[in-house]
Structure 1
Amino acid sequence: MTDDGFMGPPWQMDWTPKAQAVRDTLPEHVRKTVDAVRAELVTAKDPYFRGVDTDADLPDGMKVRPIQSSVPKGPRIFFFGHGHGWLRHTFVRRVEDPQIVVEEVFWQ
């Protein structure tokens, strides 16, 4: 737990059935990249990636942006593969079981 009583990483992660189905149909090398994205998300100190350059420590070709800048605790898009793919996720902040929910995966 953090100083404010909020649990910290590693976060739990769940996938919507549609997102999981898309992930499962991706080529193996892309699934490995998605697995690397998952590892970055569940170990992030701040799952909202707030602030300037908070995603600067991510591996090359990965970045996180809010879907709407006016909703600081809203859904995020995690770009990977130098922009060839993205994963849309939300963070459900609960005291006992906070988790990241992957809603959509896309690869082009």
Structure 2
Amino acid sequence: MDWTLKAQAARDALPEHIRKVIDAARAELVTARDPYFRGIDTDAELPQDFSVEPARSSDPKGPRILYLDNGHGWMRYTFVQRVEDPQIIVEEVFWQ
């Protein structure tokens, strides 16, 4: 998983306990069978306080938003599907 510089800086500026939540979300994304979480209830394997949805419903293979801690924050990411080296790129991190 890679981070844009802006997303990495936003993550690093957060309090330690929030960074741990983001790191847990990162682990869920990296180990997910399908980081797009397509279909009905495919994000059921995520912890109860996480959920995923497309950033735009008109772009089903575009960016996704992973909501953290019951919607108190999110990570916007893209998934580049490659045979040898699939790549998840975090574009934005937000916490309120």
What TM-score bracket applies, with the shorter chain setting the length? Answer: over 0.9
4+ long deviations beyond 4 Å: none
Q: Whose helix proportion is higher, 1 or 2?
A: 2
How far is 1:95 from its partner? 2.4
TM-score by length of 2: 0.96
In structure 1, stretches of 5+ residues that fail to align are 1-12
Percent of matched pairs sharing the same residue = 72
Tell me, what secondary structure is at the counterpart of 2:71? coil
Q: Secondary structure of the residue that 1:18 maps to in structure 2?
A: helix
- Secondary structure of the residue aligned to 1:74 is coil
Deviation of the 1:71 alpha carbon: 1.3
Structure 1 residue 72: deviation in Å?
1.2
* TM-score of the aligned structures, taking structure 1 as reference length: 0.86
Pairing partner for 2:66 from 74, 78, 90: 78
Partner residue of 1:67? 55
* Alignment size in residue pairs: 96
Q: Which amino acid in the other structure matches residue 81 of structure 1? A: D
Q: Which has the larger radius of gyration?
A: 1
